[in-house]
Chains A and B, each alone.
Chain A
Amino acid sequence: MTETKWSVDESLIRDFSTANNEPEWLLNVRLDAFKKAEDLPLPKPDKTKIDKWNFTEFGAHNVQSAPFNALSALPEAAQAVIGEENDTQNVYVQRNNTPSILKLSDELKEAGVIFTDFATAAKEHSDLFQKYFMQQVVKADEHKLTALHAALVNGGIFLYVPKNVEIKEPVQAVFIHDDAQAALFNHVIVAAEANSSVTYVENYISTVKTEQGVANIVTEVIAGDNAQISYGAVDTLTENVTTYVNRRGITAPNARIEWSLGIMNDGNTVSENVTNLIGDGSYADTKMVVVGRGKQSMNFTTKVVHFGKHTEGYILKHGVMKDEAKSIFNGIGKIEHGASKSNAEQESRVLMLSEKARGDANPILLIDEDDVTAGHAASVGRVDPLQLYYLMSRGISQQEAERLVIHGFLAPVVNKLPIENVKKQLTGVIERKVRQ
Chain B
Amino acid sequence: MSQSTLTIKDLHVAIDGKEILKGVNLEIKGGEFHAIMGPNGTGKSTLSSAIMGHPKYEVTQGTITLDGEDVLEMEVDERARAGLFLAMQYPSEITGVTNAEFLRSAVNARREEGDEISLMKFIRQMDGNMDLLEMDQDMAQRYLNEGFSGGEKKRNEILQLMTIEPKIAILDEIDSGLDIDALKVVSKGINKMRGEDFGCLMITHYQRLLNYITPDHVHVMMQGKIVKSGGAELAERLEAEGYDWIKQELGIEDETVQ
Binding site for B on A (CB under 8 A): 384-387, 389-398, 400-401, 404-405, 407-412
Contact A410 B76 (CB under 8 A): no
Contact of B94 among A385, A400, A404, A410 (CB under 8 A): A404
Q: For residue A393, which residues in chain B have a CB less than 8 angstroms away from its CB?
A: 52-53, 76-77, 79-80, 85-86, 88
Residues in A neighbouring B94, C-beta threshold 8 A: 387, 390-391, 404-405, 408
Interface residues of B (CB under 8 A from A): 52-55, 75-77, 79-81, 85-86, 88, 91-92, 94-97, 101-102, 105-106, 109-110, 143-144, 160, 164
CA A151 to CA B109, docked complex, whole Å: 54
Tell me, rounded to whole Å, the shortest Cβ–Cβ distance linking B99 to chain A.
Answer: 12
Q: Given B95, B109, B160, which contacts A400 in the complex, CB threshold below 8 Å?
A: B109
Question: In whole angstroms, how far apart are the Cα atoms of A427 and B21 in the complex?
Answer: 45
- Measured CA separation A209–B211 after assembly (Å): 66
B80 and A395 contact, CB distance less than 8 A: yes
Residues on A with C-beta less than 8 A from B75 are: 392, 398
Residue pair A400, B91 in contact (C-beta under 8 Å): no
Of the candidates A393, A407, A409, A410, the one having the most CB atoms from chain B within 10 angstroms of its own CB is A393
The reply to whether B97 and A398 form a contact with Cβ atoms under 8 Å apart is: no
* B187 CB, min distance to chain A CBs, angstroms: 22
Q: Which of these, A394, A407, A408, contacts B80 with CB under 8 Å? A: A394
Q: A404 contacts which of B76, B86, B101 (Cβ < 8 Å)?
A: B101
Q: List 21 A-B contacts (CB under 8 A).
A: A386-B92, A389-B54, A393-B76, A393-B86, A394-B80, A394-B109, A395-B164, A396-B80, A396-B105, A396-B106, A398-B77, A401-B77, A404-B94, A404-B102, A404-B105, A407-B96, A408-B96, A408-B97, A408-B143, A411-B97, A412-B95
**A395 contacts B52, C-beta separation under 8 Å:** no
Assess the B88–A394 pair: CB atoms within 8 A: no
CB closest chain-B residue, reference A386: B92
B27 to chain A, nearest CB (A): 22
Q: Which B residues are CB-close (under 8 A) to A407?
A: 96-97
* B96 engages A395 (CB within 8 Å): no
Given contacts A390-B91, A396-B106, contact A405 B97 (CB under 8 A): yes
Query: Is there an interface contact between A408 and B95, defined as CB atoms closer than 8 Å?
Result: yes
